């Protein structure tokens, strides 16, 4: 990790100095909300043009931001939506949702040598599978789209909410893997028997490829193999474009202008994954900017006085209730006191557990931010702005 020279590292400084912030974390920790809130914080406090790219099709986020559905094309969050939440935006906030299929189609159209080849690729029955079912294709296309948007120079800051992947760091490898995939000897090996003397034709095996095909034929049939080969022969025509692009994307991810924010809750499994993230990012020389501990329980639950009161409510509710003047139903009062005492103790157990986990954190970046859990769910821009207030305290 490159330690900044200044002491006052803050999320505000990151938002002000970086051009790309990539938000990652395991599923269910609130990545999308944090990404949107960071966008709101930047747009309202720092100004400029800020874009939040999400992969989450949550209609609720679109509603919350006051945009009429978030699509592959960036949409501006109307100032009216800010004002409705009682905020005066200094800059402009935009939102876009990544549509994997559309982005892939655009990519093929751009890189294919001619329209006929592009059409052949788009119409191949393997294509849909590759782009929609092949899980890592989301990762690649997300990074590719980020690159494309960044290149337009339209935005001062782009915040990216990363796709929920099986292995959450897959997207980092996606560009390199895509380049390797197209340049790989295996692909040539797979397609070579179908491409003899510069022409496509019936399959001719050589000594090297024969054993592979002996097994592969028996496994999945030669017709299917030929389909695959056809598809990749066409796909290979885009090789140069893809490889060049993948390298550029990877460079951008490592650029000084790019930083990563890891979001986690203080629960065992997400936190462990969050820590693994931080560790990996640092190990691979990416810039780990901030760790956001999301949905934490209030500090009040640690209060000694609170614990004492809760205990008395639990053990002695009847006599406490009896002292109260103006309450006729002392039995009911006693029952409620016992209930809330017990509830406090329940939540305190969880809060203490959270605190222990917080203290066990080993890979802490310079910026660690707490966002408490809110009683009500975040349903509008005002709610997201509350999170923003914790990300960037005034």
Partner 1 sequence: MEPNLLDRRLLVVTGKGGVGKSTVAAGLALVASQHGKRVLVVDVDAKGTIADRFEAGTIGFKPREVLPGISLMAMDTEASLAEYIRLNLKVPIIGRLGPLARALDFVATAAPGVREILTIGKICWEVRESIEGRADWDLVIVDAAATGHVVAQLGAADAIGELVAVGPVRGQTEWMSELLSDPAVTALNIVTTPEEMPVEETIDLVGRARAELKVPLGVVIVNRVLPELFTRDDEAMFETLADAPVLDQLASAVGPGVPAVMDAARLAVAMRRSRLEHLNRLRDEVDLPTLYLPYLFARSQGRRETAMVAHALAGEMGL
Which 82-121 positions form the footprint of partner 1 (CB under 8 A)?
A: none
Assigned token pair, 195: 């491409």
Q: How many residues are given for the chain?
A: 394
- For residue 147, the tally of other CB atoms under 10 A from its CB is 19
Give the interface size with partner 1 as a residue count (CB under 8 A): 83
Interaction residues for partner 1, span 153-172 (CB under 8 A)? 164, 166-167
Among 88, 115, 123, 377, binds partner 1 (CB under 8 A): 377
Among 126, 243, 282, 361, binds partner 1 (CB under 8 A): 126
Q: In DSSP terms, which residues pair with 291 in a beta bridge? A: 262, 368
Provide the 8-state DSSP code for 168: T
Strand order in the sheet with 157-161: 75-76, 92-97, 49-54, 157-161, 20-24, 258-265, 288-296, 367-372
Kindly state the smallest distance separating residue 10's Cβ from partner 1, in Å: 28
Interaction residues for partner 1, span 252-311 (CB under 8 A)? 268-270, 298, 300-301, 303-310
Kindly state the smallest distance separating residue 241's Cβ from partner 1, in Å: 18
Kindly state the smallest distance separating residue 364's Cβ from partner 1, in Å: 22
Interaction residues for partner 1, span 349-368 (CB under 8 A)? 349-350, 352-353
**Nearest to residue 1, comparing CAs of 362, 266, 360, 292?**
362
Residue 102 or 312: which CB sits closer to partner 1? 312
Q: What is the DSSP string of 24-53?
A: E--TTS-HHHHHHHHHHHIIIII-SEEEEE
58: contact with partner 1 by CB under 8 A? yes
Kindly state the smallest distance separating residue 389's Cβ from partner 1, in Å: 18
Residue 27 or 254: which CB sits closer to partner 1? 27
Kindly state the smallest distance separating residue 212's Cβ from partner 1, in Å: 5
10 Å CB burial of residue 185 (0-12, 13-18, 19+) is exposed
Interaction residues for partner 1, span 175-194 (CB under 8 A)? 181, 184, 186-187, 189-190
């Amino acid at each position: 990790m490159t330690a900044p020279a200044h002491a006052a590292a803050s999320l505000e400084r990151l938002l002000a100095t970086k051009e790309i912030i990539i938000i990652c974390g395991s599923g269910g920790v609130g990545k999308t909300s944090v990404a949107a809130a960071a966008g709101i914080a930047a747009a309202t406090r720092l100004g400029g043009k800020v874009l939040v790219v999400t992969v989450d099709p949550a209609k609720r986020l679109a509603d919350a931001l006051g945009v009429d559905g978030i699509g592959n094309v960036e949409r501006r969050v109307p100032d009216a939506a800010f004002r409705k939440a009682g905020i005066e935006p200094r800059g402009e906030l935009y939102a876009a949702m990544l549509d994997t299929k559309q982005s892939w189609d655009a990519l093929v159209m751009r890189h294919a040598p001619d329209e006929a080849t592009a059409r052949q690729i788009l119409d191949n029955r393997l294509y849909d599978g590759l782009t929609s079912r092949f899980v890592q294709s989301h990762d690649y296309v997300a990074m590719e789209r980020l690159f494309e948007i960044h290149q337009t120079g339209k935005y001062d800051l782009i915040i990216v909410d990363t796709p929920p992947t099986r292995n959450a760091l897959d997207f980092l490898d996606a560009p390199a893997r895509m380049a390797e995939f197209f340049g790989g000897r295996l692909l040539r090996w797979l397609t070579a028997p179908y491409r003899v003397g510069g022409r496509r034709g019936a399959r001719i095996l050589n000594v090297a490829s024969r054993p592979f095909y002996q097994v592969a034929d028996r496994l999945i049939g030669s017709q299917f193999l030929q389909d695959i080969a056809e598809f990749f022969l066409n796909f290979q025509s885009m090789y140069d474009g893809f490889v060049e692009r993948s390298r550029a994307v990877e460079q951008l991810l490592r650029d000084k202008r790019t930083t990563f924010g890891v979001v986690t809750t203080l629960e065992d499994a997400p936190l462990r994954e969050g820590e693994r993230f931080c560790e990996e990012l640092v190990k691979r020389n990416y810039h780990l900017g901030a760790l956001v501990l999301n949905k934490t329980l209030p500090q009040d639950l640690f209060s000694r006085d609170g614990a004492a009161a809760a205990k008395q409510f639990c053990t002695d509710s009847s006599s406490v209730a009896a002292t109260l003047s103006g309450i006729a139903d002392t039995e009911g009062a006693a029952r409620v006191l016992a209930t809330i005492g017990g509830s406090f103790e329940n939540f305190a157990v969880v809060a203490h557990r959270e605190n222990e986990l917080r203290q066990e954190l080993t890979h802490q970046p310079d910026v660690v931010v707490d966002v408490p859990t809110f009683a009500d769910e975040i349903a509008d821009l005002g709610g997201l702005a509350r999170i923003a207030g914790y990300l960037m305290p005034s």
